[in-house]
Structure 1
Amino acid sequence: MRVRRYRVLHSTVYVYSDEVTSSYGRAYLTPRAFPGQRLLSHDIRVDPVPSDRSVGTDVYGNTTLYFHVTAEHRRLEVTGESMVEVTNPPEIPAPGPWEKACPDIENGPLAVEFTLDLNPPEITPAVAAYAAESFPPGRPLLEAVQELTARIHTDFTYESGSTTVSTRVADVFADRRGVCQDFARLGIACLRSLGLAARYVSGYLATDPPPGRERMVGADATHAWAAVWLPDGSADGHWVDFDPTNNQFADERYVTVAWGRDYADVPPVRGIIYTDAKESTIRVSVDVAPLEACTDA
């Protein structure tokens, strides 16, 4: 079992051309705690200091910070700092045919929501046909997911700036290019077209890979991947994370912050401002630094 500890620093700076009189914000910057990931410490700093702030939990169990800045300002900085311990996932027993992993109200009631398409829909005939190539009848689920992950990695080009957070899956599929969140959303749409449950995962990748491993795309930035649901006899079932951008299942280099049905459920920072400013800029910086060498436990 491999265990790694990281210090994660995620800073978002907004600069406006005129005074902002009021700024409401919501941040998903607190890494989750679950088997395989421990949150050792965490803090979120907002400058200017908010007149009101509160921490809550959304419907998916993600921790969110709400804040309201009432002091006039032309610059707003939101910084999350965390220490996290991540363990590589245990080996999953090979599941049966993928058809047996489609949840229903009796088998996986909590996963059924993650089989549903979005509104507006993302599952097109072209996406469904693309997914079907990797999922012939009776094929083991993880074998099929692994092939789909590899195909997306091969068939689509990673190109920073080629899309925005509002780019549709159909457009990514047609252009054959995008970034990590696009490839995650494409993989999710493919799985949902088959009746499988898939969720969107937001987080980070370690910037310093363990010895003998290559540096991966998405380091020094927020990262996104997907997870597929497996039945295990419980109401919750089991989720396996896979990363089409880097063509692999997630390991101890992945730090999970939040998950939901889509990016729109868990953006790192979003909000509303009151201002006459005509222009604004945003700068995001991320650093995921190992606190110690990879250890075996």
Structure 2
Amino acid sequence: MSEELGMREEPRGRLYRVTHRTVYEYDDDVTSSYGRGFLCPRDFPGQRRIDHELVVDPEPEDSSTGVDAFGNHDLYFHVTQTHRRLVVDAQSTVAVAAEQTSWANWDDWADWEDVRLRLAQEPLVRQYVIDLDPPEITDEVLRWAAPTFAARRPLVEVVAELTHRIYKELRYDPGSTTVATKVSEVLAQRSGVCQDFARLAIACLRGHGLAARYVSGYLLTNPPPGQPKLVGADATHAWAAVCFGEDRWLAFDPTNNQLVSDEYITCAWGRDYADVPPLRGVIYSEAKTSTIGVSVDVAEL
């Protein structure tokens, strides 16, 4: 499965080759395997997908691509060959330009209460304001967020402090959570991974009537000389974005305490992780054990 976009104008900025490999191995035969995911980078101002290719081994009997309700490119495949090893390789070429380089340079300094009033007039963003089911906006989350949401404070300052607090007060600890861990649990144990930190930020913003979305993608694997490697660069990454109205979104990364820059490649966005997992599926097998290996490389061209 591949997609070539031809001669389309690229944003000024940096060009990347993204390689994402997922390997599933089982201790018994798998007779049927269904997969669905979001491995194709998006097109939007500041990012241009030049090409994308997906290879599944064994070759699927059936496969397709489409666009979901959030505008993401999703994939589907069905492997019917008996197998004990399944490999999904996704490769993309993407051009990225930095839209925002510092908090101070953001051009909208409206108070967060005023932004909330704006959003009330924009029904299309309501899906990013409403809490999830089961709810993530608990009393504990609201109490923790309250000091940051001071009255008549510019939203950009709120988001900057929220990003910093998550970075300073919670510990990055791979293995301490799963995709089923609740935001309240992450806050209680003060640890998690990038997906958890993005979801905590989103719950805090939604708890105050603001629109926030979950974003999945990648980070530059090897930074320029002299710059530290960012957390999450060796796997898929996740961050959040907040809406200022009129489809203007500010993307930020609590895991690394910074705005999203031209070192980030966006694959998909939605209300939560469950909307945009990189890959998930169902198998038919008597296998008792299985392993999954994921490797990601983002190389600048």
Q: Using structure 2 for the length normalisation, give the TM-score.
A: 0.92
Q: Does 1:129 align with 2:143?
A: yes
What's 2:237 paired with? 223
1: CA distance between counterparts of 2:196 and 2:164? 15
1:270-281 alignment, distance < 5 Å? 270-281=280-291
Measured after TM superposition, the shift of residue 214 of structure 1 is: 2.2
Q: Does 1:253 align with 2:239?
A: no
2: CA distance between counterparts of 1:165 and 1:53? 26
Q: Does 1:262 align with 2:284?
A: no
SS at match of 1:172: helix
1: CA distance between counterparts of 2:232 and 2:120? 38
Which residue identity is paired with 1:190? C
Q: Aligned-pair RMSD on alpha carbons?
A: 1.4
Q: Does 1:45 align with 2:55?
A: yes
1:149–1:248: 8 Å Cα contact kept in structure 2?
yes
1:40–1:82: 8 Å Cα contact kept in structure 2?
yes
Which residue identity is paired with 1:64? D
Measured after TM superposition, the shift of residue 106 of structure 1 is: 5.7
Gaps of 5+ in 1: 292-297
SS at match of 1:131: helix
Q: Go from structure 1 to structure 2 and tell me whether the alpha carbon gap of 1:32 and 1:103 turns closer, same or farther (over 3 Å shift).
A: farther
SS at match of 1:68: strand
Measured after TM superposition, the shift of residue 92 of structure 1 is: 3.1
SS at match of 2:13: strand
What's 1:120 paired with? 134
Deviates more, 1:210-219 or 1:79-88: 210-219
2:119–2:211: 8 Å Cα contact kept in structure 1?
no
User: What is the CA deviation profile of residues 149-168 of structure 1, one whole-angstrom value per residue up to 9, with x for unaligned ones?
Assistant: 00010000001111111111
Find 1:192's aligned residue among 206, 215, 223: 206
Gaps of 5+ in 2: 1-10
1: CA distance between counterparts of 2:61 and 2:263? 37
2:218–2:235: 8 Å Cα contact kept in structure 1?
yes
User: What is the CA deviation profile of residues 37-93 of structure 1, one whole-angstrom value per residue up to 9, with x for unaligned ones?
Assistant: 010111010000001101111000000111010110000011110011100014531
What's 1:57 paired with? 67
Measured after TM superposition, the shift of residue 222 of structure 1 is: 0.6
Measured after TM superposition, the shift of residue 21 of structure 1 is: 0.6
Find 1:24's aligned residue among 6, 9, 34: 34
Q: Does 1:172 align with 2:186?
A: yes
Q: Using structure 1 for the length normalisation, give the TM-score.
A: 0.94
1:103–1:197: 8 Å Cα contact kept in structure 2?
no
2: CA distance between counterparts of 1:261 and 1:275? 32
User: Identity across aligned pairs (percent)?
Assistant: 58
1: CA distance between counterparts of 2:161 and 2:191? 19
Find 1:79's aligned residue among 80, 89, 110: 89
> What is the aligned length?
287
Which residue identity is paired with 1:109? P
Find 1:35's aligned residue among 28, 45, 53: 45
